[in-house]
C-alpha cells in the first residue's frame, strides 16, 4: 500500500491521541517498517491493518468506525492536495464518476504495479446513483467514509447504504446513494 495512507493515518491518530501516545503504540508493535513511513514508498497491507486495529483500540473505536473516519480524513486530504480536480466537479456523482477515468487511469500509466481499486458510478435516477468499488484491499468502511465526506463537501444530503460481497481475493461493494430531492442529479 502507498505510504501516504500510513502517514495520514498516523497524522489523524496524532491529532486525536497526541504524538507521544502514537509513538508508544508504534513502539509496542513489531512492525517490519519499524513504524517509519513516507508518502512515496509502498508498505505491507497487513501492517496497515495492524495499525488500524491498534489505533482504533487506543481511541476506543471499532475498526469500522476508525476506517470510516479515516476515509473522511483522506477525502479532506485529497481535496487539499488536488483542489482543481475536486472543484471542477459540482456534485458527488460527477466526482465519483470521474475517478476511474481521470485519476486511476493516470496512476496506472505512471505505475503499472499499482494495486488500485476499480470504481464506477452509475446514475439510477435523478435522486439515486450507485457506486461500485472492487478492490483486493478490505477498505469498505474507508470508502464509505470518503463518499460521505464527498457528499458533505458538496452540501448534498443523502442516505448511503451498501451491499458487500467478499471473495477470497477481493471486496466488491455496491454503494446505493439516495439523494434528498433538493440534491437531485441534473448533470454529470
- In this model, does residue 188 exceed pLDDT 60? no
Q: Give residue 184's pLDDT.
A: 58
C-alpha cell read off for 103: 485519476
| Alpha carbon distance 185, 59 (integer Å) | 38
Average pLDDT over residues 175-184: 82
Average pLDDT over residues 151-159: 94
Average pLDDT over residues 151-168: 94
Local structure of 158: helix, strand or coil: strand
The predicted-structure confidence for 13-58, as pLDDT tens digits, reads as follows 999 999 999 999 999 998 999 899 998 888 999 999 999 999 999 9
The predicted-structure confidence for 83-126, as pLDDT tens digits, reads as follows 999 999 999 999 999 987 777 666 666 667 777 788 899 999 98
* Mode of pairing for the β-strands spanning 128-135 and 118-125: antiparallel
C-alpha cell read off for 66: 476508525
User: Rounded mean pLDDT of the chain?
Assistant: 90
Q: Give residue 183's pLDDT.
A: 61
Cβ contact 137:117 at 8 Å: yes
Q: Residue ranges per domain, the chain?
A: 3-61, 74-183
| Alpha carbon distance 46, 52 (integer Å) | 10
Q: Give residue 105's pLDDT.
A: 63
Q: Quickly list DSSP for 21-77.
A: HHHHHHHHS--TTTT---SSSB--HHHHHHHHHHHHHHHT--HHHHHHHHHHHHHHH
* CA distances in angstroms from 178 to 15, 40, 90, 104, listed in the order given: 32, 36, 17, 25
Nearest to 164 by CA among 139, 146, 128, 127: 139
Asked whether the whole model's pTM tops 0.95, one would answer no
| Alpha carbon distance 26, 2 (integer Å) | 18
Q: Which residue has the higher pLDDT, 149 or 170?
A: 149
Which one is the CATH code of 74-183: 3.20.20.70, 3.20.20.140, 3.90.1520.10, 3.90.1200.10? 3.90.1520.10
Q: Give residue 163's pLDDT.
A: 96
Q: 3-state DSSP: the chain helix, strand, coil percent, rounded to 5? A: 55, 20, 25
Q: Give residue 82's pLDDT.
A: 92
Cβ contact 187:97 at 8 Å: no
Amino acid at each position: 500500500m502507498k505510504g501516504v495512507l500510513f502517514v495520514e493515518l498516523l497524522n489523524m491518530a496524532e491529532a486525536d491521541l497526541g504524538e507521544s501516545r502514537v509513538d508508544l503504540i508504534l513502539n509496542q508493535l513489531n512492525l517490519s517498517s519499524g513504524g517509519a513511513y513516507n508518502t512515496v514508498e509502498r508498505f505491507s497491507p497487513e501492517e496497515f491493518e495492524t495499525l488500524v486495529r491498534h489505533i482504533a483500540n487506543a481511541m476506543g473505536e471499532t475498526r469500522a468506525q476508525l476506517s470510516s473516519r479515516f476515509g473522511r480524513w483522506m477525502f479532506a486530504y485529497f481535496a487539499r492536495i488536488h483542489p482543481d480536480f475536486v472543484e471542477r466537479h459540482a456534485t458527488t456523482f460527477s466526482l465519483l464518476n470521474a475517478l476511474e477515468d481521470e485519476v486511476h487511469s493516470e496512476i496506472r500509466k505512471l505505475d503499472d504495479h499499482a494495486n488500485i481499486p476499480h470504481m464506477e458510478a452509475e446514475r439510477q435516477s435523478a435522486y439515486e446513483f450507485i457506486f461500485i468499488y472492487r478492490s483486493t484491499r478490505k477498505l469498505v468502511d474507508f470508502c464509505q467514509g470518503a463518499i460521505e465526506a464527498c457528499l458533505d463537501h458538496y452540501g448534498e444530503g443523502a442516505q448511503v447504504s451498501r451491499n458487500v460481497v467478499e471473495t477470497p481475493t477481493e471486496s466488491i461493494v455496491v454503494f446505493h446513494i439516495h439523494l434528498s430531492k433538493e440534491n437531485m442529479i441534473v448533470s454529470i
